[in-house]
Structure 1
Amino acid sequence: MKNKNLFLTITAFLYMIQLSAQLPKTHSIGAMKNMGTTYDLNIWLDTISNKPHLYGMGPYDKMKGEITVVNGKPYVASAFIDGAFEVGKDWDIRSPFFVYSNISKWDIFEIEGDLNNVHDIQEKVATIAKENGYNLDQPFAFKIKGEFDAVTAHIVTPRLPEVEGYREGIKSQKFSFENAHGEFIGFYSEHHQGVFTHMDGFVHVHFLMKDKTFMGHLDKISTKGKTITLYLPKNQ
């Protein structure tokens, strides 16, 4: 019996190693904590060679807005005018830091229960990933689709007077939506705080409206009694 239990333990351990090793690789260029006051540009997105099924995010240029790449399509959001935003598509863009992964297949799970903030997303993603054999020591992308009772997201704005769109004293604009259909694109990592997640959390999440008319960095969320869908990268 002892030998059987040992065999099962070793088999499970080897399976976990194999499973985690096959996650699509997450790449990061630059770091949030190193932007300083000059916001030096570290990546030109058009230099990423493998664009099909690419997912990624980071600031647009020298804090001119937000970038989110969804399934190989780049969305660029800016908010230079009070109360207004624009969303376009372009690969000819640069960023001070950027995180990305190429994911062609996903495993699908249901998220039940209320989501009241970004931390709730972090906890749900971590719990479901761990329950399904994901190694939380490895960074990974995720996405969540559904209808959300309320969403608040911001778009950063330039902090340097010489940068297009600069307005003194304004570092971002927040926008709120009710009964919002869309998806959250996120990256989870317990080891990249200050790199592509903030120091107080393990996730960086952007919101893309279903009709692609709005995109921004997620600040607040509210869902009451709705079942929404979580996508985690399929091990390959």
Structure 2
Amino acid sequence: MNNLKLLFIPVLLMLYGCKDEKSVDYSVLHTGALINLMSGNLEATASLDSIQDLPYLYALGALENLKGEIQIFNGKSYVSKAFDKDSVLLERDFNHKAALLVYAQVEEWTNSIMLEQFSDLKSIEQQIEKQASLHGIDTNQPFPFLIRGEVDQVNWHVINWKDGDKEHNHKKHQESGAYGIIENQEIEIIGFYSTKHKAVFTHHTTFLHMHFKEVNDHMIAGHVDDLKASKATLYIPKIR
């Protein structure tokens, strides 16, 4: 009987420990797909107000009919629309529909991780994968990340697709609305990494999809086409 009691004690301790351990869920969800947009299907797949009340919400995407870009940082909406090559309007509400939407809920991020200087998307992709692995993230599954800091250069666009245009390609998407280059400005980026979602929510040449907003004046937010920085910091979901 004494031996049985001794066996029960470790089992009870293990069960108690499992009960107190908090699970971390940063699951990446999406509606729509880039391949559908490229095929001309620009219809809405989700309403932003359907996710408005989710806590710790981070998201990016494209509006229905490709009439703008979606950025959500910790539950705050920054929807950008282009009216010409140089004019961007930010709308701060959730009264919009998305043709593509990628989102996750992240209650807690890691402390800042200083990134090495990078001059292209491939370099930053490699650093994100490395740091995620070091911090316990399963890089075989999609995950969100943030980048903050003063960047040397960000190439950006806000799509404004011409009604009735059936010929889709990446260059036309970049140049259909407002686009440009921002230099030496502090920005915040919401991004998603995945090795399994090319042409779904990452482009065919990269495992990343990133959108940004300016930090100081919030005048511009949109899609990141290219990025160079020497002082940027990375944040990934914290694994407890």
TM-score computed with the length of structure 2 as normaliser? 0.81
Q: Is the 8 A contact 1:42 1:96 kept in 2?
A: yes
The alpha-carbon distance between structure 1 residues 46 and 132, as it changes in their structure 2 partners (threshold 3 A), is same
Are 1:141 and 1:233, in contact at CA under 8 Å, matched by a contact in 2? yes
Unaligned regions of 5+ residues in structure 1, if any? 1-18, 163-168
1:25/1:38 Cα in 2 relative to 1: closer, same or farther (>3 Å)? closer
Q: Distance in 1 between matches of 2:52 and 2:79?
A: 19
**Structure 1 ranges of 4+ moved more than 4 A:** none
CA displacement at 1:66 relative to structure 2: 0.4
Greater Cα offset, 108-117 or 60-69 = 108-117
State the secondary structure of the residue aligned to 2:187: strand
**Superposed displacement of residue 50, structure 1:** 4.0
Aligned to 1:99: 102
Tell me whether 1:230 sits opposite 2:225 in the alignment.
no
In the TM superposition, what is the alpha-carbon distance from 1:134 to its structure 2 partner?
Answer: 1.2
- The CA distance in 1 between the partners of 2:122 and 2:101, in whole Å, is 22
Deviations 1:176-235 (CA, angstroms, capped at 9, x unpaired) = 1111101111001111111111111111001110032210111122224x3x22110123
The alignment status of 1:184 with 2:189, answered yes or no, reads yes
Q: Residue deviations 1:111-152, cap 9 Å, x none?
A: 332111222221111010112221111111100111111221
**Match among 31, 51, 74 for residue 29 of structure 1:** 31
8 A Cα contact 1:55 1:101, kept in partner = yes
- Whole-Å Cα distance in 2 between the matches of residues 53 and 144 of structure 1? 16
Structure 1 residues 131 and 114, CA gap change in structure 2 (3 angstroms): same
Q: Residue 233 of structure 1 aligns to a residue in which SS? A: coil
Give the conservation status (yes or no) of the 8 Å contact 1:150–1:178.
yes
Q: CA deviation at 1:89?
A: 0.8
**Do the aligned residues in 1 keep the contact of 2:83 with 2:177 (CA within 8 Å)?**
no
2:205 pairs, out of 197, 200, 203, with: 200
Q: How far, CA to CA, are the matches of 2:83 and 2:150 in structure 1?
A: 28
Question: Deviations for 1:61-119, whole angstroms, at most 9, x for unmatched residues?
Answer: 21111001100011111112232111111111111111100111111242332111222
Bigger radius of gyration among the two: 2
CA distance in 2, matches of 1:221, 1:49: 29
TM-score between both structures, scaled by the size of structure 1: 0.82
1:213 aligns with 2:219: yes
* Corresponding residue of 1:44: 47
Question: For residue 238 of structure 2, what is the amino acid of its counterpart?
Answer: K
